Amino acid sequence: MRALLTQFARFGVVGGVGFLIDLGIFNLLIATVLHPDRLHEGPVIAKAVSTSVAIGANWVGNRFWTFREHRGRRVVREGVEFGIVSVGGMGIGLLCLWVSRYLLGFESVLADNVAANVVGLGLGTAFRFALYRSWVFAPRRGERLTEAERDAAAARAADAGGSGSEGSGAAGSAVRPAGLAPDGGVEAVAAVDDGSLRDR
């Protein structure tokens, strides 16, 4: 539980940084090159750009900090999966806004902010964290093993194999007389005992 809470706290910090990046770039763009007076679709384009940059920043933060123990080696696939989940979380926020405005009839600025930035943000955050943890950065996916973990597993396997072969070699040399075939086993020991009795 403690590890889960730590992971969620890191996820929240990364999300907060991404939110600030999104907000900052959006306002910078609509105040300059994408001002509505210059370009009618400016705010929409600005939001698409700012959200894309924020998603990229969130991916880096979550990959190298929040879920660093479970990051995969297939970077492109992991990035695509992260993007899919991020867009899904954004869709949840837009859906909440749409329901509030067009189904429930709440059209004030306060209602829009509550729907999009409180309810939608909360549900979207829970959705993203759950899928990042269980799919994008899932610890049980085989390719999620880091190079260090692979090396450690290989070393353990080598140690186990080496100790087993050494043990069997030692046992074989203890019961096998010189010059006899190695498949003599217990019968080879009995043969040696019989021979020693005849000599006496």
Token reading at 44: 């929409």
Structure tokens at 70: 């479970």
Q: What's the Cα-to-Cα distance from 8 to each of 20, 113, 140, 178, rounded to whole Å?
A: 18, 24, 19, 66
Residue numbers in the chain where pLDDT is lower than 50: 142, 144-145, 164-176, 184-190, 196-197
Instruction: Kindly state the tokens that stand for 98.
Output: 């749409």
CA–CA gap between residue 150 and residue 143 (Å, rounded): 10
DSSP state letter for 65? I
Minimal CA–CA distance to 184: which of 95, 194, 79? 194
Which of 41, 83, 89 is closest to 59 using CA atoms? 83
How far is C-alpha 20 from the chain's CA centre? 24
With a CB cutoff of 8 Å and minimum separation 6, the contacts of 115 are: 96, 97, 99, 100, 101, 106
Q: Say what the pLDDT of residue 104 is.
A: 93
Mean pLDDT value across the chain: 74
What is the DSSP secondary structure assignment for residue 133, as one 8-state letter? I
Q: What is the pLDDT of residues 140-193, one digit of tens each?
A: 654 544 556 556 756 776 776 555 444 444 444 444 455 555 554 444 444 555
Q: What per-residue confidence (pLDDT) applies to 188? A: 46
89 and 127 in contact (C-beta within 8 Å)? yes
Q: In the prediction, which pLDDT does 194 show?
A: 52
Report pLDDT for 14: 92
